[in-house]
Amino acid sequence: MMLEISNLNVYYGESHILRNVDLSVQPGQMVCLIGRNGVGKTTLLKTIIGLLKPRSGQIKFDGQLINLKSPDQRAKMGIGYVPQGREIIPQLTVKENLLLGLEARRKLPKSQDISEEVFALFPVLKAMLTRRGGDLSGGQQQQLAIARALMGQPQLLILDEPTEGIQPSIIIEIEAAVRLIVATTGISVLLVEQHLHFVRQADYYYAMQKGSIVAAGSTSELSQEVIQRFLAV
Ligand SMILES: Nc1ncnc2c1ncn2[C@@H]1O[C@H](COP(=O)(O)OP(=O)(O)OP(=O)(O)O)[C@@H](O)[C@H]1O
Ligand SMILES: [Mg+2]
């Protein structure tokens, strides 16, 4: 198993946010976490990457227990993360933003060139390498944030609502790029997403309510009931 979470409980102070969460991602699998606002989706992702400490439960990555590893150690083990809201650095150029992604690698490459694979996935970035990140549109910034995470050569790519606030034509591009990453690189993906069309690109879904996983299954069997309960469509 690429990622295996069992019986995870996470608190903010005294508020019990995640309750006995079990979730797994297999190698090469694309998994989507769905659920309404405020149910704990981001909290789960932040716990996986090490920004929050669970009170109990296990997080295993590639068979290894990682509960006690720092976020930096987890990144170097191969967990890439694109936060909700993207968090690219507006004053730096597109190229400088991309190069920051190299810090997640265990060994720095000799060359500081951006691989053509990144541009194949996100052609728009190639023409914009010298532009400031902050001058890009929301959709372009999201593509930059995903590309930056790929620069770290992750085995597992975690995306928190990559299409939030983005116009429909760009949503389709981002969706296609993520699907292509899974199909061509063997990278596993765990994403939080609200758009049904994007959710359907995943192989498997988990639905969260009040910090618990309350439904899960193949996305080919997403019922109307699940869609209405857990997605804002
Ligand atoms: N730093 C914090 N301190 C205290 N409570 C928090 C903090 N961050 C989030 N919460 C609470 O934890 C719960 C889960 O929040 P979380 O951000 O994980 O939800 P979410 O499912 O990602 O929501 P959204 O769809 O709006 O992104 C919410 O009730 C939220 O108010
Ligand atoms: Mg969130």
Cβ distance 76 to 85 under 8 Å? no
- Which amino acid would we find at residue 7? N
Q: What is the greatest pairwise CA distance in the chain?
A: 52
Q: Among 8, 9, 12, 82, which residue has the most ligand 1 atoms within 8 Å of its CB, making it the best to mutate?
A: 12
Cβ distance 207 to 216 under 8 Å? yes
- Nearest ligand to the CA of 34 is 1
Task: For residue 42, report the distance from its CA to the centre of ligand 1, in Å.
Answer: 7
State which residues of the chain have pLDDT below 70.
Answer: 233
Classify residue 58 as exposed, middle or buried by CB count within 10 Å of its CB (0-12, 13-18, 19+).
middle
Alpha-carbon span 119 to 141, nearest angstrom? 14
Cβ distance 78 to 154 under 8 Å? yes
**Backbone φ and ψ of 131, nearest 5°:** -80, 155
The pLDDT assigned to 233 comes to 60
Alpha-carbon span 32 to 219, nearest angstrom? 9
3-state secondary structure of 181: helix
Q: Positive or negative CA dihedral for 119, 137, 84, 166? A: negative
Stated length of the chain:
233
The pLDDT assigned to 150 comes to 96
* Protein residue with least CA distance to atom 6, ligand 1: 12
Q: Does 47 contact ligand 1 (Cβ within 6 A)?
A: no
Residue showing tokens 């910090």: 211
- As given in the structure block, the two tokens for residue 136 are 């890009």
How many angstroms separate the first and last alpha carbons of the chain? 32
**Backbone φ and ψ of 36, nearest 5°:** -75, 175
CA-nearest of 80, 84, 83, 60 to 71 is: 80
- The number of distinct structural domains making up the chain is 1
* Protein residue with least CA distance to atom 20, ligand 1: 38
pLDDT tens track for 11-44 = 999 999 999 999 999 999 999 999 999 999 999 9
pLDDT tens track for 193-223 = 999 999 999 999 999 999 999 999 999 999 9
- As given in the structure block, the two tokens for residue 187 are 């990278």
- H-run or E-run covering 10: strand 3-12
Q: Does 41 contact ligand 1 (Cβ within 6 A)?
A: yes
Q: Does 37 contact ligand 1 (Cβ within 6 A)?
A: yes
Q: Does 145 contact ligand 1 (Cβ within 6 A)?
A: no
The pLDDT assigned to 26 comes to 98
Q: Among 8, 9, 11, 17, which residue has the most ligand 1 atoms within 8 Å of its CB, making it the best to mutate?
A: 17
CATH, residue 146 = 3.40.50.300
| Domain of residue 175, residue span | 3-230
Task: For residue 163, report the distance from its CA to the centre of ligand 2, in Å.
Answer: 12
* Protein residue with least CA distance to atom 14, ligand 1: 40
The pLDDT assigned to 129 comes to 96
